[in-house]
């Protein structure tokens, strides 16, 4: 059997993420920025859901949410999380683990203002993760806000904010034939990164 060369180089993992993310945006049919976010309670009970990556770079990876939701409660109590991108069209995954910090109010305001008016109304009307007696109740709350803010310019609720994950570990996974996959793990080391291959 011919031995394949390593396709995931030891390099700057943030720059490598940017390359893979750009390729995913070009090939993935829907929401290339969708990522699974795993959080946990202080006693280690995990939960996971899909969120959207909105900003990324050397400082970290940003998503926005209702901080009074289940994930918000877990983040406040245990500010560590894991992210997973899975791009089926490319046969690639990226896993990130690290600590979370809240973004500034100015950054949250700017992103909230950039959203579609209906999305702003929907977020302001939602008690995310809380029990809801009927969908009609939620829709009525949205419409009541629309009457007060017909152009959708509802102010950002104080509990609607963003969090930035500062990665301490980043793993790149590439699918190979016959499940002979390739994995490279980057671990933050001081101001830089060390890396090693992992068995699939």
Query: 93: closest CA among 158, 171, 192?
Result: 171
Q: Which fold has domain 13-108+159-198?
A: Pnp Oxidase; Chain A (2.30.110)
Catalytic residue among 179, 183, 184, 188, which?
Answer: 179
Q: Taking the model in full, what pTM does it have?
A: 0.90
| Neighbour-count burial of 164, counting CB atoms closer than 10 A to its CB (0-12 exposed, 13-18 middle, 19+ buried) | buried
How is the chain split into domains, by residue range?
13-108+159-198
Note if 120 is an active site residue: no
For residue range 1-53, list pLDDT tens digits in order.
Answer: 455 566 888 889 999 999 999 999 999 989 999 999 999 999 999 999 999 99
């Amino acid at each position: 059997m011919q031995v394949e060369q390593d396709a995931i180089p030891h390099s700057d993992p943030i720059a490598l993420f940017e390359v893979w993310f750009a390729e995913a945006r070009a090939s993935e049919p829907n929401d290339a920025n969708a990522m699974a976010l795993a959080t946990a309670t202080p006693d280690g009970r995990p939960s996971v859901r899909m969120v959207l990556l909105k900003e990324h770079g050397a400082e970290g990876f940003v998503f926005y949410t209702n901080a009074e939701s289940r994930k918000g409660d877990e983040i406040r109590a245990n500010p560590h999380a894991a992210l997973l991108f899975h791009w089926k069209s490319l046969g690639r995954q990226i896993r990130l683990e690290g600590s979370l910090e809240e973004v500034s109010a100015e950054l949250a305001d700017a992103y909230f203002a950039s959203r579609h008016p209906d999305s702003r109304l929907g977020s302001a009307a939602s008690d995310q993760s809380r029990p809801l007696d009927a969908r009609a109740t939620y829709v009525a709350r949205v419409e009541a806000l629309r009457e007060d803010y017909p152009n959708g310019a509802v102010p950002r609720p104080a509990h609607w904010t963003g969090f930035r994950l500062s990665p301490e570990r980043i793993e790149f996974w590439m699918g190979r034939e016959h499940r002979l996959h390739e994995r490279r793990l980057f671990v933050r080391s001081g101001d830089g990164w060390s890396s090693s291959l992992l068995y699939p």
